[in-house]
């Protein structure tokens, strides 16, 4: 298709924590340095840098891209920040892919950093103005409203119970016990989730991922450079992104059509015709437990309305036929927005290299995907990786 | 190098309390213009009417009102009045405020809903709140109608509709 | 369709008022902690020094911007530097006139990247680029680990 082949050759992650002492810049450095070390590269080898980060109002740092620059190794280099809401963490490596696939450079560093703990009394305050200022804000909507609305519509459409959805939280939080970055990995049971505080029916506290501070980074390289650096490159086989209308109340809330469109774009590029058979491990975005189910369906990894049953049957467990969020996901590892999406890409990178340690899924997977989602339930970003 | 020893440990609540912190209270205040289409919509609300935009090319009657049809990518063809009744597409019962503080037991719960308005094209919904009902009795598919403020109290805002109530 | 500028008094337009009601608490970070702890306790400025490539930076970082090596060495610069540039401001950010002009400058330290941006004592006529200036600090008991522990820089 005229694109150059692009590989991930190194990855770095910080721990995801409730409150970091480190600044966003320092977190970006820790992840970036680890990624470069793993790739066997020095900063001078990096030709271009792209940084993904959520709204400035989270960190309380205006022009956050510019602020993060030096920690992300961008001083004096072609550098740019990318942003598509919660979809940013998977868009960032897509953006890096553009740099390398186009031939603009051979080595691109991709960094995501988020320091949510600066924002008081709650980061949701920064989100109050995403709603239409004239027709919605006077009703005092909050972020949790729209997720509760979407979750209920999804449950109603397919006749799902709270327990059907909560099994995702149980799986992911327990998966995260094996992740070194995990913020709040807890060995929770189905009863724990169902009995946790009701925040906005049908959403309970343990249906939601915790907001965290954290950073992640990957190094992308062209084919020639990648083969010189490593005998285990992981190739970016397909990328896709798509956005739907901001008139969110007019959409079919039970099905993320924009995620399907993004997935189809990535699958076509990757030559994937039967995703439910060809994708062997996946990290869909799971800031809420129902979102994992929603996204499995949008990604065409199962029939519509079937994801909850597959979860109950253990099909999506780490040892199941199609492991979903073996990392522990946002629900388990924590949710520093953009860094979460990139953490998911890194998980697939590690799984395909068989370097995921205790989290390694069986069967030597060769093809995996990561996906993120965000804005006013509007954006899907998808990346397909191959060994 | 393996990713099994990640840097950063995080601060405990006590460490965070003790840490030197720089505090900033920004004053971020805005006045957002209504714009052309929404301006007409608000004028309609003041008169107790819900207006929707129409596009004669695709035939849609659209809510929220808009100056252009984003599918046909052309200006809309004026506004038409739709009913002030509709069907609940989905709803939630919210027990918390945006800052994560909890509503007191005696405070009424917030019941946001997506309401598909009668007379608009299928699926053209708006967000509003449901009232005058026991939260336990709210159901998807329930018919609701707008409860308006008295005409002399209406100011041309979305809150001229106090809430939608089942009927 | 074109823009119709039929209303040219913007207060006649309908509008909805709102705000973003958040506040922030920033930790100093690992590098920032080293600087402000030393300022508070020892009354001195700390810079980072890269043992790999030799670059010194103020405010201190935990990494070298130049070569990305982790920083292992922090050095004291005392409190004396050179005035790199200065300005006199008459209005605050909302356009209100100050009672008397504020003189601000960037103070640098020989051989060190970066600098400290702060208030400069004295009037414009007495200042020269390159002149030595020294920080006037609050008494130790009143310092709290913030940039205001420095009252101003004054002629050395």
User: What does the radius of gyration of chain A's CA atoms come to, in whole angstroms?
Assistant: 19
Report, as ranges of residue numbers, the positions in chain C whose pLDDT lies below 70.
1-12
From B40's Cα to the closest Cα of chain C, the distance in A is: 10
Give the end-to-end CA distance of chain B in Å, rounded to a whole number: 65
pLDDT for res B1: 42
Q: Are A118 and C26 in contact (CB < 8 Å)?
A: yes
Instruction: Name the least confident of A233-242, A300-309, B17-26.
Output: B17-26
pLDDT for res A168: 98
Q: Which of C18, C22, C24 sits opposite B30 (nearest CB)?
A: C18
- Expressed as residue numbers, the domain containing C137 is 27-155
Q: Give pLDDT tens digits for C4-45.
A: 556 666 555 788 888 888 999 999 999 999 999 999 999 999
CATH code for the domain in which residue C72 is found: 2.40.50.140
Cβ burial C47-76 (10 Å sphere, 16+ → b, else e): bbbbeeeebbbbbbbbbbbbebbebeebee
Q: Does A129 touch chain C (CB under 8 A)?
A: yes
Of B49, B105, B57, B109, the C-alpha closest to B79 is: B49
The angle that helices A162-175 and A289-298 make with each other, rounded to 10 degrees, is 100
Looking at residue B144, what DSSP letter applies? E
Residue C10 lies in a domain: no
Q: Are A70 and C70 in contact (CB < 8 Å)?
A: no
Residue C70 lies in a domain: yes
Q: What's the CA gap between A264 and A355, in Å, rounded?
A: 28
Looking at residue A123, what DSSP letter applies? G
Q: What residues form DSSP beta bridges with A274?
A: none
Of A304, A305, A332, A338, the C-alpha closest to A318 is: A332
Domain count, chain C: 1
Residue C7 lies in a domain: no
Q: Omega into B159 within 30° of 0, i.e. cis? A: no
Q: What's the CA gap between C137 and C147, in Å, rounded?
A: 10
Residue C110 lies in a domain: yes
Residue A344 · residue A354 · CB < 8 Å? no
Q: Are A23 and C63 in contact (CB < 8 Å)?
A: no
Give the end-to-end CA distance of chain A in Å, rounded to a whole number: 20
C neighbours by CB contacts (3+ pairs under 8 Å): A, B
- Helix residue spans in C4-153 (DSSP H): 29-42
Q: Are C13 and B33 in contact (CB < 8 Å)?
A: yes
Contacts of B39 in chain C (CB under 8 A): 13-14
Interface residues of B toward C, Cβ cutoff 8 Å, are 11, 16, 19-34, 36, 39, 42, 67-68, 75, 156-157
Report residue A128's pLDDT band, with 50, 70 and 90 as the boundaries. Answer: confident
Q: Omega into C130 within 30° of 0, i.e. cis? A: no
Contacts of A348 in chain B (CB under 8 A): none
Q: Is A176 helix (H, G, I), strand (E, B) or coil?
A: helix
Confidence (pTM): 0.94
Q: What residues form DSSP beta bridges with A50?
A: A80, A110
Q: Give pLDDT tens digits for A41-77.
A: 999 999 999 999 998 988 889 999 999 999 999 999 9
Give the end-to-end CA distance of chain C in Å, rounded to a whole number: 66
Q: Are A128 and B4 in contact (CB < 8 Å)?
A: no
pLDDT for res C8: 62
Residue A133 CB contacts under 8 Å (≥ 6 apart), including other chains: B30, B32, C16, C18
Q: What's the CA gap between C78 and C42, in Å, rounded?
A: 10
Q: Please give the domain boundaries of chain A with CATH numbers for all domains.
A: 6-119+210-386 (3.40.47.10)
Residue of B nearest to A253 (CA): B90
Q: Which of B10, B95, B158 sits opposite A15 (nearest CB)?
A: B10
Q: Give pLDDT tens digits for A138-181.
A: 898 988 999 999 999 999 999 999 999 999 999 999 999 999 99
Q: Are A57 and C31 in contact (CB < 8 Å)?
A: no
Cβ burial C114-151 (10 Å sphere, 16+ → b, else e): bbbebebeeeeeebeeeeebebebbeeeebebbeebbe
Residue C12 lies in a domain: no
Q: What's the CA gap between A26 and A89, in Å, rounded?
A: 18
Q: E strand or H helix at A359, and its extent?
A: none
Residue C117 lies in a domain: yes
Residue C104 lies in a domain: yes
Percent of chain B at pLDDT exceeding 90: 86
Q: Give pLDDT tens digits for B60-114.
A: 999 999 999 999 999 999 999 999 999 999 999 999 998 889 999 999 999 999 9
Q: Are C25 and B31 in contact (CB < 8 Å)?
A: no
Residue with the bigger pLDDT between C59 and A125: it is: C59
Of B103, C24, B139, the C-alpha closest to A24 is: C24
pLDDT for res A15: 96
From C128's Cα to the closest Cα of chain B, the distance in A is: 32
Q: What's the CA gap between A240 and A252, in Å, rounded?
A: 21
- Helix residue spans in A108-256 (DSSP H): 143-158, 162-175, 190-195, 223-229
Q: What's the CA gap between A59 and A55, in Å, rounded?
A: 8
Percent of chain B at pLDDT exceeding 70: 98
Q: What's the CA gap between A36 and A217, in Å, rounded?
A: 9
Q: Which two tokens stand for residue C92?
A: 């605050």
Q: Strand C45-49 to strand C56-58: parallel, antiparallel, or no bridges (unpaired)?
A: antiparallel
Statement: residue B4 has pLDDT above 50: yes
pLDDT for res C1: 46
Q: What are phi and psi of A40, to 5 degrees?
A: 75, 30
Q: What's the CA gap between A369 and B4, in Å, rounded?
A: 22
């Amino acid at each position: 298709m005229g694109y150059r082949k692009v590989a991930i050759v190194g990855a770095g992650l910080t721990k995801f924590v409730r409150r970091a002492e480190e600044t966003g810049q320092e977190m970006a450095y820790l992840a970036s340095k680890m990624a470069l070390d793993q790739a066997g590269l020095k900063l001078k080898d990096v030709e271009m840098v792209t940084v993904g980060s959520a709204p400035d109002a989270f960190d309380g740092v205006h022009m956050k891209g510019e602020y993060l620059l030096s920690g992300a190794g961008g001083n004096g280099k072609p550098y740019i920040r990318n942003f598509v809401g919660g979809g940013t963490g998977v868009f960032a490596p897509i953006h890096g892919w553009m740099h390398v696939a186009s031939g603009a450079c051979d080595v691109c560093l991709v960094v995501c950093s988020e320091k949510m703990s600066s924002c008081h009394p709650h980061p949701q305050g920064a989100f109050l103005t995403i709603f239409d200022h004239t027709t919605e804000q006077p009703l005092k909507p909050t972020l949790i409203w729209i997720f509760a609305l979407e979750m209920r519509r999804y449950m109603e459409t397919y006749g799902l119970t709270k327990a059907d959805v909560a099994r995702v939280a149980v799986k992911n939080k327990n998966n995260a016990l094996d992740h070194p970055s995990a913020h709040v990995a807890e060995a929770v049971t189905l009863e724990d989730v169902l009995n946790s505080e009701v925040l906005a029916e049908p959403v309970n506290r343990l249906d939601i991922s915790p907001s965290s501070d954290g950073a992640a980074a990957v190094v992308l390289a062209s084919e020639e450079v990648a083969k010189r650096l490593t005998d285990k490159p992981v190739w970016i086989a397909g990328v896709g992104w798509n956005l739907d209308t901001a008139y969110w109340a007019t959409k079919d809330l039970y099905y993320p059509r924009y995620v399907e469109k993004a997935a189809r774009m990535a699958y076509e590029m990757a030559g994937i015709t039967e995703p439910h058979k060809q994708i062997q491990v996946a990290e869909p975005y799971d800031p809420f437990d129902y979102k994992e189910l929603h996204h499995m369906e949008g990604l065409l990894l199962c029939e519509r309305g079937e994801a909850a049953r597959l979860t109950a049957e253990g099909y999506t467990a780490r040892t199941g036929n199609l492991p979903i969020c073996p990392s522990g996901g946002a629900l388990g590892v924590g949710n520093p927005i953009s860094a979460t999406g990139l953490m998911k890409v890194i998980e697939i990178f590690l799984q395909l290299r068989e370097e995921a340690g205790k989290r390694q899924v069986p069967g030597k997977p060769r093809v995996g995907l990561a996906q993120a989602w965000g804005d006013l339930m509007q954006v899907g970003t998808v990346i397909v990786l191959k060994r | 190098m393996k990713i099994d020893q990640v840097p950063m440990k995080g601060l405990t609540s006590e460490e965070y309390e003790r840490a030197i912190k720089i505090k900033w209270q920004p004053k971020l205040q805005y006045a957002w213009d209504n714009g052309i289409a929404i301006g007409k919509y608000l004028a309609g609300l003041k008169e107790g009417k819900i207006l929707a935009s129409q596009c004669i090319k695709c035939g849609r009657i659209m809510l929220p009102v808009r100056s252009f049809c984003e599918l046909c990518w052309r200006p809309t063809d004026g506004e038409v009045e739709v009913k002030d009744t509709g069907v609940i597409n989905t709803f939630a019962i919210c027990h918390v405020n945006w800052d994560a503080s909890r509503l007191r037991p005696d405070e009424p719960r917030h019941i946001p809903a997506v309401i598909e308005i009668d007379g608009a094209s299928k699926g053209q919904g708006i967000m509003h709140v449901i009232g005058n009902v026991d939260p336990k009795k709210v159901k998807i598919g329930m018919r609701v109608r707008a409860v308006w403020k008295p005409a002399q109290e209406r100011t041309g805002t979305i809150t001229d509709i106090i809430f939608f109530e089942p009927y | 369709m074109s823009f119709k500028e039929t209303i040219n008094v913007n207060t006649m337009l309908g509008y909805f008022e709102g705000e973003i009601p958040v506040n922030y608490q920033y930790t100093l970070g690992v590098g920032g902690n080293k600087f402000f702890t030393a300022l508070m306790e020892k009354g001195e400025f700390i810079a980072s020094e890269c043992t790999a490539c030799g670059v010194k930076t103020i405010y201190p970082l935990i990494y070298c911007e130049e070569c990305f090596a982790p920083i292992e060495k922090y050095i004291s610069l005392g409190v004396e530097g050179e005035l790199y540039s200065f300005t006199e401001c008459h209005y605050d950010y909302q356009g209100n006139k100050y009672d008397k002009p504020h003189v601000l400058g960037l103070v640098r330290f020989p051989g060190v990247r970066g600098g400290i941006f702060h208030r400069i004592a004295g009037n414009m006529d007495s200042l020269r680029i390159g002149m030595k200036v020294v920080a006037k600090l609050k008494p130790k008991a009143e310092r709290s680990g913030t940039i205001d522990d420095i009252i101003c820089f004054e002629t050395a």
